[in-house]
Structure 1
Amino acid sequence: MKPYSFLISAFALTVLQTNAAFAGPPVTVTFKNIGNQTATYTPETSNELITKTNANPIPETTVNANSSDTYTIQSPTSLDYNHANLRYKIGTKSCIYLSTFVYTPGPDGSKIPKWNNKATPSGSATCTIRVTRTNPSTHAWSVEITMR
C-alpha cells in the first residue's frame, strides 16, 4: 500500500506544480473607497466569481469609507491571459471594473503583451481604474480602483 500512496502523492504534487506553471501574470488590485459610506464587494456574474476564486486573499466583503483593500488575482489556466472582473456597491451606486492582460500576435509571430482597463459606473457612482505598475519581464501589473 505504501508504493500506491507514494504514487498518489507524487501525482498530486506534479499536478500542483503543473498548474502553477500555467498561471498567467498576476494583477495586484488596490480598491479604495473614497466615498462616505461602506462599499460592498458583490460578485454576480461568472467572470466576477472566477475572479473571486483566483484572488489571494479573497477581497474583503466590505470596505469602510476612506479605507482600502489589496489582493492579487492570477488565472491558473493560461500563461497568456489573466483578468480581474470586480463589482462594488455603495447604496444604489455600483462600479464594475475589468482589467485584462493578453498576448496579441505580432507581425513576426511574436507575442505582444496588452493590458486593458475599464470602469463602468451606474447609479451616479464615480469609478476610476488606473495602472500603477507593470513588470516588463513577467508582465505582472498593479491597478488602483476607486469608488465614490
Structure 2
Amino acid sequence: METYKALIAALTALYIGPVVAGPPVTVTFKNLGSQTATYTPISNNEAITKANASPTPQASVIANSTDTYTIQSLISPDYNHANLRYQIGNKKCVYLATFVAATGSGASKIPKWNNTATPSGGATCTIKVTKTNPSTYAWSVEITMK
C-alpha cells in the first residue's frame, strides 16, 4: 500500500510539473471621485484576479486616494491578466489588463499587452500602461475612476 501511495505521489508530481508564473502586473487604482469606491469582484476571472493579488485589493478606497497591488497568474510564463471591478454609487468600471507572449519565428516571443476600461452608470474609467519591462515582460497599469 505504501508503494502504491508513493507511486501515485510521484506520478502526480510529474503530471502537475513545476508552477510557472506569468509576468506580474502592478496595478495602481486611483479614486478620482468624491465618494468611496468599492472593489466588487463578481465574475470568475475577477475572483481569480483577487486570488492572484498581493496584497489583496482594498475593499474600499476613499475619495482622492489610491490602492496599489501586484497580480501574477500561475497559468503560464507567457500569460497574465487582471480583471477588476469598482463601483461608486451607481457608477461602475470594469478593467481588463492582459499580457500574452506569442511564439514568433524561431524561438522568439512577441509580447502583447492589452488594456480595456468599460464604464457604466455615468462613470469615467481609464486604464493606461505606465511601465513595461522588455526582459521580464512585467508591467504596470494605472486605473482611474470618477
Q: TM-score, normalised by structure 1?
A: 0.85
**Amino acid in the other structure paired with 1:119:** A
**Amino acid in the other structure paired with 2:24:** P
Question: C-alpha separation between the residues in 1 aligned to 2:89 and 2:105?
Answer: 48
Q: 1:103-132: per-residue Cα shift (whole Å, max 9, x none)? A: 123244532000000000000000000000
Aligned-residue identity in percent: 69
Q: 1:54-79: per-residue Cα shift (whole Å, max 9, x none)? A: 00000000000000000000001210
1:88 corresponds to 2:80: no
Tell me what 1:124 maps to: 122
- Structure 1 runs (4+) deviating above 3 angstroms are none
Q: 1:60-100: per-residue Cα shift (whole Å, max 9, x none)? A: 00000000000000001210100000000000000000000
1:138 alignment partner, SS class: coil
1:103 corresponds to 2:107: no
2:18 alignment partner, SS class: helix
Tell me what 2:55 maps to: 57
Unpaired segments of 5 or more residues in structure 2? Answer: 1-5
Question: C-alpha separation between the residues in 2 aligned to 1:135 and 1:103?
Answer: 13
Q: 1:27-53: per-residue Cα shift (whole Å, max 9, x none)? A: 000000000000000000000000000
1:144 corresponds to 2:134: no
**Amino acid in the other structure paired with 2:91:** K
Shift of 1:144: 0.2
1:18 alignment partner, SS class: coil
Unpaired segments of 5 or more residues in structure 1? Answer: 1-6
